[in-house]
Amino acid sequence: MKASMKAAICLALACLLVLSTFGCSPKAMTGETVIAAFKKAGLEAESVRPMTSQDYGTAPKVCKGTRFFIPSLGPDNGGRVFLCNNTKDRDALSGYYNGLAAMGSIYVSWVFVKGSVVVQINGLLPDETARKYEAAIP
């Protein structure tokens, strides 16, 4: 085997090793991926399910949503994880939830954006705990 051929094979193998180390084919992000990250961080995320049309309420139905509940906040309190296909939809959705606060304190919620993910959580969640959810978003 020629030296140049050996060098090319070694280079290709080294590239494959590097790419596999960094995950050249990352798993597709899902709501369940985000929920699993919350749980791994020791955070509450129970009764997880895909969002229905009713779960969106008046929010724009532009991103795929997953609903979860935080039992310590009381019945029917928790949050939503949205995966958006583009920044326009992501920004519309996060802007909607951020804009609700102007309607009154009852509508205040935590809204965290990271890449294509929008996480909205009930505003009753204490600041310190909310920041843990934000930090856990993959």
Q: Which residue has the tokens 């229905």?
A: 52
Q: Distance between CA atoms of 104 and 32, rounded to whole angstroms?
A: 31
Asked if residue 18 belongs to a domain, the reply is: no
How far is it, in rounded angstroms, from Cα 66 to Cα 106? 22
Compute the Cα dihedral for 20, 35, 116, 111 and give only its sign.
Answer: negative
CA dihedral sign of residues 75, 34, 94, 89 = negative
pLDDT digits (tens, 9 = 90+) for 115-129: 999 999 999 999 999
Confidence class of residue 27 from pLDDT cuts 50, 70 and 90? low
**9, pLDDT greater than 50:** no
In this predicted structure, what is the pLDDT of residue 106? 81
Please say if the pLDDT value at position 6 is more than 60. no
The reply to whether 10 falls in a domain is: no
pLDDT in tens, 54-77: 999 999 999 999 999 999 999 999
Whether residue 57 lies inside any domain: the answer is: yes
pLDDT at residue 17 greater than cutoff 80? no
In a domain, 6, yes or no: no
Domain ranges, residue 76:
27-136
Structural domain count, the chain: 1
The string of pLDDT tens digits covering residues 79-101 is 999 999 999 999 999 999 999 88
Residue 43 has pLDDT above 60, yes or no: yes
> Within a domain: residue 19?
no
Name the 3-class secondary structure at 115: coil
